[in-house]
Each structure stands twice: as structure tokens, then as C-alpha cells.
Amino acid sequence: MSFATPALPLSFAPQPAARFGTSFGYRLEGDQVELNALLESFDTAGATGEMSLQLWACDASGQLERAIKVAECPANPSTGAWGWSTALPPAGRDAHTMVMALAAPDGVHDLAWLPAPQHFIQPRLDGVVGYHLDGNEVDLSVAAIENPRTAGNLSGSLSLELWALAAPYTGGAFSGMQVASVALGQLAGEQRLNDQHWRVPATLPAVGQWHLVLMLREWTANGFVTRDYATFAQSYVVAAPIAPAAETPATATTAPTRTAKTAAPAEPATAKAAAPAGPATVKAAAPTEPAATKATEVVAPAPTQKTAAKKATPETAPAPIKTSAAAKPATPAESGDTAAVSINRAELDALAGVKGISRSAARAIIAARPFAAIDDLTAVKGIGKKTLARIRAALKL
């Protein structure tokens, strides 16, 4: 049976040299197919080129680009065509119309349609399938996977694969990016796996719009071949990453805070903070250390007791403040005289060089550092009140 209109994505030869005779057909046996055809040659000169007998599967859409070549064997216009070939059937379970083509390098010389539709028996997906991408992983689910072939007909190794394709998949060759895969092993004929779920690593496709398809593929002599598939109506879009905005230096702003007032001195550095009882961790004389937060004893430098009491009123110092009743006018040593020896920083020889401080007393001073006030030296062994009164002018903090 010949047709003038081609049903395949092939062009006709400009001068056909042969055509199908009275007998032609095919026989599927597993992954192999037997092809045969009687041929009639009516242009010996035009039939000298290499010819082949091809078997094509066409779906119900009638679209030529969806026709799939299943098998092929050599053909001779004088003796006909016969041979076995590895079958590459379309994926899925839909019926296909089979077409035989007598092809040559210059195009198709004849076409023949076969009357019976073909259902390909191969491993397949059954029921609801789905996927859920979650970062670099994907959840795959399939209601059932089965091998409908006869008992004892063991499948090749099966693989469940999620692919991202540039165009919707129709069951033939494809080009795209594999997102994820699961190795399933082999299934015997009439065997079925129910309610399957996996969470596997995923490789996201590049930026663009993709058509995702879940494929069941089987290992054959030609590598993995797609046996069944499930497409999804909604495409998968990967957006381009948004470029980060140019960074601008952050302007630090300080929120207004309420702070407790301390005794407000009329002149700079008129009072010295004394350390609380116990080992001191902050040197009162160091200008870079934070102010102590606990109540401290203040030695008021005011010349009269009346002025000192005025500075310690509740309005200006919410924390309890003690005022030394025996406060003395600041001496040059306390106010930072550069000729005096520092009791907090001077070395042993410098302290021992002060008249009235023995070497053992100097060691005791170093061991008891730091001091918040010169009067604290009376707690050091070897330094009494009378001794301190004599050496005060030679000392500073």
C-alpha cells in the first residue's frame, strides 16, 4: 500500500527508483524487531544507492515531528529487505500507527502504512506521580511502577529520572538537564511496586523556563531508553538572581539615653573616684577605662565642708555618696605633679627612693596596687598615717 503524501519528517526522493511489493511487515520480540519487505525496482539506474527499510511509530496527533523511528535494516531493491534490529519504541502506553519507509540518501522512495495500531508493552508508571523541589533536594512520589511483560521477562535496570526540558516532552528523543534520579533495580514480569517515595539530591536547572518531566527509563543494549513518562502542566521558572544593591556606609546614630548625674564639678578633674572594697579591676587614674557603675567614695577637693556637702545633694547624685569629713586641700602630688612618684606605676627602685619608704614597704605598695587614693597607702604594712603625712608631697597616683 503506497501513499503519495509523506507521513514522516522526511522528504521524498526526486526520482523514486523502487517501491514496496505485495508483502512487508515487522515482528517485535522483546527489545528486538524483525523487519521484512518485498521490493519492486523500476529504475535500476536510480536504485543503485544504499537503501534502508525503516519502521516508524506515529501518534494520534498527526504531527510529523512527533513520529519516532523504531528500527532500521539494510534494503536492496533487487532482493528485498530482511533483518533484525534493536527496537527503540516511543515512551508511554498510547497506541501508535506504524509506517514503513523505503529510504535512501536522496529521500524516501516509498511509504507503507500498517493497518493494526501498535501498543508497546514496557515498564510503566501508574497512578498519581509528583515532585517537590526543596532547595538542593527533591521529593519524588509515584503511586506504582510495574512491568506488564509476561512472567519471567526480567526488565533491564530501571531508573526514575526528573528532567528539565526546553520543550514539552512527547515520547521521543529529548535534550535537557537531569535534575534528579533514583536507581530502582530490575523488575520481573508482572511485578509491581506500590506507593513509592524518595528524597534525593537535586541539581536545579539554569535560569529560564523549563518543562519538567518524570521519566521511567530502562537499560538496554543502546543505553538507557525512556519507557514511560509523566509531564506536568505548570512549567518551572528559574529567575535570574537579583544583583545586590550597592552598599553605602552606614551612619551610626546614637539614641538618646537617660543617665544618672554625678557630682557636677565646677572645674575639670576636681574629684577622684575611690575603688570599692575588694580587688579593683579598673584603674581610677586611667583615662581610657569606663567609669565604675557602683557607688564610690568621693574625696571632695572643695576648700570648705559646706561646698562638698552641696555637691552631694540627692538632686545631682542619685547613688549614695559619702563625703570625707577630713578632706584636705589637694596637694601637688594628688593633682598630678610630674616630679612626684606614682604609687600605681612607679617601679621598685623609684618607690624605695622616696625618703620615708623602705624597700620592703615599696614591695608591699606594688603588691597592693592599684590604689584609688593616696590615703589608701595607710593599709600597706610599713606606711602609717604619720609616715604618709611626711611623704604625701612626694607621691601621686
pLDDT 10s digit of each residue in the chain, 397 long?
333 344 578 888 888 889 999 999 999 988 899 999 999 988 756 555 689 999 999 887 777 778 899 999 999 988 899 999 999 999 988 899 999 999 998 889 999 999 899 999 999 999 999 999 998 999 999 999 999 999 889 999 999 999 999 999 988 889 999 999 999 999 999 999 999 999 999 999 999 999 999 999 999 988 999 999 999 998 999 888 876 665 555 444 444 444 444 344 444 443 343 444 443 333 433 444 444 344 333 334 444 444 443 444 444 444 444 444 444 444 444 444 457 888 888 888 888 888 888 888 888 888 888 888 888 888 887 788 888 888 888 888 8
Residue 260 located in a structural domain: no
231 C-beta neighbours (distance < 10 Å), count? 15
- Give the global pTM: 0.56
Residue 4 located in a structural domain: no
Instruction: Using the 3D structure, point to which of 113, 135, 157 is the last residue of a domain.
Output: 113
φ/ψ of residue 310, rounded to 5: -65, -35
Residues contacting 378, CB < 8 A, separation 6+: 384, 385, 388
Residue 10 located in a structural domain: no
Residue 256 located in a structural domain: no
| Whether residue 145 sits in one domain with residue 79 | no
Rounded CA gap, 188 and 223, in Å? 19
Question: Which CATH number characterizes residue 344's domain?
Answer: 1.10.150.320
Strand 395-396, strand 341-342: pairing: parallel
* Among 296, 393, 295, 280, CA closest to 344: 280
Residue 390 located in a structural domain: yes
Residue 95 located in a structural domain: yes
Residue 65 located in a structural domain: yes
Range of the domain at 105: 18-113
- The number of CA neighbours under 13 Å toward the Cβ of 171 is 25
Instruction: Using the 3D structure, point to which of 84, 113, 142 is the last residue of a domain.
Output: 113
Name the domain count of the chain. 3
Provide the grid cell at 322: 559619702
Question: Which CATH number characterizes residue 42's domain?
Answer: 2.60.40
Provide the grid cell at 119: 501498543
